């Protein structure tokens, strides 16, 4: 084999590819960026802990000054009483000296006044330190998102690098000798020898491609899973001939090219197939029937029926109501989903070419809602509160159960939910929040203060004109309300309590994760990979990913009936043990790894942004 020639061709191909992609950072460059930011994040964590300790020390000093104030006030009153007593004696006996009593009183008053000034100064120091802690926490949550986004880019860069390294053209010279069969002609023997030489060249070239990969060890491990191949572009006989014993020998120069499709690249690197979604779609389209193109301007009738009543039909992600259903759709591919509480969803991909009927048989799921487990309170007149689903009591494992989590998700612990509770099946919507504002004339923190934060340049930037009415992108009434602070969310649940007569509040972290997990122990309720178009988060493959919030309920419910526990908008929860506000669930502009069920980020209670909303709970 002339391996030098292959090396020359490979080098030429790589040089051209690198020149074309010069503007894109390499895997190594992205990894270095991640390492740098990870070090900064760890420093941020240490800094936050240090600042929190300093804030606690300042608060303890403030408490000591306030306690001292009570003591000084008692001393001032005692000195005043002594001075008054001396004055009474002076009236009866002008020779009585009251100067020492006056001096003691003056000193007591001065000490008390000085303590007041010290308290005022200490309050300013506490508030300044608290603001510093919140600034660092905001920078920290921005930094972790930037790290996770870079990890996404690194995975994409790894896929691109693997495809560039594998899909190369090269030439191998191979020699093959065979013994001609007595029953075959010399021509047949020659043809068979050349075919075996080509097969040998293909195998050798494939092995060399694997050996030359930057991530050869990982790719080799997953080779059977992906099954990439090579294409023979042509061959040329260098030398050949027959021996006197009926042997045939041939030396071929074979031109070959690696063939690695995008989905195979994901399989070789053992990463989520969503990173290869675009290539996968391209191949699906490429393998379609080219002889009979589908005219999407033609409309066909689709009839949908099921074995249950009060179900819901989604076609291409859009709700069409319940069955029986008859609708006209353009020719082409469509996804039909039929669901109902307590039943396994029916999902089918249809290639609509003419009138079609679908009959779905829905079977009961392992967890079935029973009568009374759906709640919707009347607030006033015909206005209804959020629709709630009942979450049963029980125990579960909380925190990082897969090893993919952040330090603040550990250690994982078994937690108990002692009583069932109702939780809104969606995030609170713009329309629901507007009803509250219209009834109470409530003004949010964003409207009273410096607006609402947006995520720009890797950090939250406040923009004065943005608030829940105008978050920086267009929202329908059924989108989750955002640009609301923890205090705004608390005001809403207080109003729900007053108008419904039932106790509403924000979920605790334990309640939120219990409901979001819905009996699972994976990173997402459907598994450990976020998949494609299953949720609204950055690079999650939905129509809203990285652009805006999605209407609530645009994706499947989890097994306990909750929508959007993954992505769309971070949700305010309470850490009752530390009296802190924590957001859960990820958002439309945050990396998928931050939408895992155990991910948590502590934020200042007055923080508001166009990626934070909330949902509510109430007791039975």
> Which residue shows structure tokens 């996804």?
335
Whole-number pLDDT of residue 86: 82
Q: Is the pLDDT of residue 46 over 90?
A: no
| 211-229 residue pLDDT tens | 999 999 999 999 878 777 7
**How many alpha carbons lie under 13 Å from residue 15 in its C-beta half-sphere?**
6
357 burial via Cβ count (<10 Å: 0-12, 13-18, 19+): exposed
| 429-478 residue pLDDT tens | 999 999 999 999 999 999 998 999 999 888 899 999 999 999 999 999 99
Q: Which residues contact 533 (CB under 8 A, 6 or more apart)?
A: 540, 541, 542, 555
Numbered ranges of CATH 3.90.1580.10 in the chain: 374-619
Phi, psi torsion values for 549, nearest 5 degrees: -70, 160
> Of the ranges 142-156, 427-441, 557-571, which one carries the lowest mean pLDDT score?
142-156
CATH topology of domain 374-619: 3.90.1580
Sign of torsion, CA 38 43 49 52?
Answer: negative
| 403-427 residue pLDDT tens | 999 999 999 999 999 888 999 999 9
> Which residue shows structure tokens 């990969």?
213
Whole-number pLDDT of residue 294: 63
Summary mean pLDDT of the chain: 85
Whole-number pLDDT of residue 213: 95
Q: Is the pLDDT of residue 528 over 50?
A: yes
| 262-307 residue pLDDT tens | 788 999 999 988 888 754 333 333 333 434 566 444 455 688 998 8
Whole-number pLDDT of residue 207: 87
Residues 544-568 have a mean pLDDT of 95
Numbered ranges of CATH 2.60.40.10 in the chain: 299-360
Which of the pair, 19 or 430, is modelled with greater confidence? 430
Q: How confident is the model at residue 11 (pLDDT cuts 50, 70, 90)?
A: very low
For 279, 313, 315, 556, the CA distances from 345, given in Å and listed in that order, are: 28, 10, 13, 9
Percent of the chain with pLDDT over 90: 48
The CATH class, in words, for 27-162 is mainly alpha
Percent of the chain with pLDDT over 70: 89
Whole-number pLDDT of residue 408: 93
Beta carbons of 160 and 265 less than 8 angstroms apart: no
Q: How confident is the model at residue 365 (pLDDT cuts 50, 70, 90)?
A: low
Element (H, E) at 371: none
CATH topology of domain 169-286: Thiol Ester Dehydrase; Chain A (3.10.129)
Instruction: Measure the CA–CA gap between 59 and 517, rounded to whole angstroms.
Output: 38
Which of the pair, 94 or 373, is modelled with greater confidence? 94
Q: Is the pLDDT of residue 164 over 70?
A: yes
Beta carbons of 316 and 335 less than 8 angstroms apart: yes
Whole-number pLDDT of residue 327: 72
Which of the pair, 318 or 240, is modelled with greater confidence? 240
Q: Is the pLDDT of residue 253 over 90?
A: yes
Residues 304-312 have a mean pLDDT of 82
Numbered ranges of CATH 3.10.129 in the chain: 169-286
Beta carbons of 238 and 253 less than 8 angstroms apart: yes
Q: Is the pLDDT of residue 58 over 80?
A: yes
- Give the CATH architecture of domain 299-360: Sandwich (2.60)
Residue 318 structure tokens: 């859009």
Which of the pair, 424 or 48, is modelled with greater confidence? 424
Whole-number pLDDT of residue 370: 46
Which of the pair, 299 or 98, is modelled with greater confidence? 98
Residues 369-381 have a mean pLDDT of 64
Element (H, E) at 481: none
For 527, the 3-state DSSP assignment is strand
Q: How confident is the model at residue 187 (pLDDT cuts 50, 70, 90)?
A: confident
253 burial via Cβ count (<10 Å: 0-12, 13-18, 19+): middle
């Amino acid at each position: 084999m002339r391996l030098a020639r292959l090396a020359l061709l490979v080098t030429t191909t790589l040089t051209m590819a690198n020149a074309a992609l010069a503007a894109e950072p390499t895997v190594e460059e992205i990894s270095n960026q991640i390492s740098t930011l990870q070090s900064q994040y760890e420093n941020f964590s240490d800094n936050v802990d240090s600042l929190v300790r300093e804030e606690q020390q300042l608060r303890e000093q403030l408490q000591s000054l306030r306690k001292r104030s009570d003591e000084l006030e008692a001393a001032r009153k005692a000195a005043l009483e002594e001075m008054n007593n001396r004055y009474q004696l002076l009236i009866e006996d002008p020779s009585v000296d009251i100067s020492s009593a006056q001096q003691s009183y003056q000193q007591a008053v001065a000490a008390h006044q000085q303590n007041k000034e010290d308290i005022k100064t200490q309050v300013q120091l506490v508030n300044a330190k608290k603001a510093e802690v919140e600034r660092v926490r905001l920078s920290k949550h921005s930094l972790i998102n930037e790290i996770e986004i870079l990890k996404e880019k690194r995975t994409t860069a790894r896929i691109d690098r693997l495809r560039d390294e594998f899909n190369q053209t090269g030439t191998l010279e191979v020699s093959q000798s065979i013994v001609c069969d007595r029953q075959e002609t010399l021509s047949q023997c020659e043809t068979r020898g050349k075919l075996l030489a080509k097969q040998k060249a293909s195998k050798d070239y494939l092995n060399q491609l694997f050996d030359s990969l930057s991530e050869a060890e990982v790719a080799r491990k997953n080779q059977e899973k992906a099954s990439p191949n090579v294409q023979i572009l042509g061959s040329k006989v260098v030398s050949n001939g027959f021996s006197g014993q009926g042997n045939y020998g041939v030396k071929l120069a074979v031109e070959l090219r690696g063939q690695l499709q995008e989905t195979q690249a994901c399989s070789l690197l053992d990463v989520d197939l969503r990173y290869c979604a675009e290539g996968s779609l391209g191949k699906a389209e490429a393998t379609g029937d080219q002889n009979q193109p589908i005219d999407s301007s033609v409309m066909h009738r689709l009839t949908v029926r099921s074995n249950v009543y009060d179900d819901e039909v989604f076609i291409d992600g859009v709700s069409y109501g319940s069955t029986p259903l008859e609708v006209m759709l353009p020719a082409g591919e469509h996804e039909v989903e039929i669901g109902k509480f307590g039943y396994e969803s029916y999902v089918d991909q249809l290639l609509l070419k003419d009138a079609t009927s679908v009959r779905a048989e829905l079977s009961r799921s392992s967890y079935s809602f029973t009568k009374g487990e759906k709640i919707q309170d009347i607030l006033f007149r015909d206005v209804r509160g959020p629709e709630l689903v009942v979450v049963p009591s029980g125990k579960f494992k909380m925190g990082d159960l897969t090893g993919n989590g952040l330090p603040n998700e550990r250690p994982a612990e078994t937690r108990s939910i002692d009583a069932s509770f109702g939780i809104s099946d969606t995030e609170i919507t713009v329309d629901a929040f507007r009803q509250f504002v219209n009834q109470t004339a409530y003004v949010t923190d964003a409207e009273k203060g410096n607006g609402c934060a947006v995520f720009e340049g890797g950090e939250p930037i406040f923009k004065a004109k943005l608030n829940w009415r105008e978050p920086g992108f267009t929202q329908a009434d059924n989108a989750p309300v955002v640009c609301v602070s923890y205090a705004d969310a608390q005001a809403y649940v207080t109003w729900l309590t007053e108008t419904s007569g039932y106790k509403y509040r924000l979920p605790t972290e334990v309640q939120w994760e219990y409901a979001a997990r819905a009996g699972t122990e994976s990173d997402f309720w459907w598994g450990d990979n976020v998949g494609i178009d299953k949720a609204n988060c950055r690079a999650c493959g939905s129509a809203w990913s990285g652009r805006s919030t999605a209407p609530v309920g645009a994706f499947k419910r989890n097994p306990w009936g909750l929508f959007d526990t993954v992505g769309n908008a971070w949700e305010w929860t309470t850490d009752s043990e530390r009296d802190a506000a924590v957001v859960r669930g990820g958002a439309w502009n945050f990396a998928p790894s931050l939408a895992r069920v155990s991910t948590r980020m502590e934020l200042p209670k007055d923080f508001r942004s166009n990626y934070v909303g909330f949902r509510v709970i109430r007791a039975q």
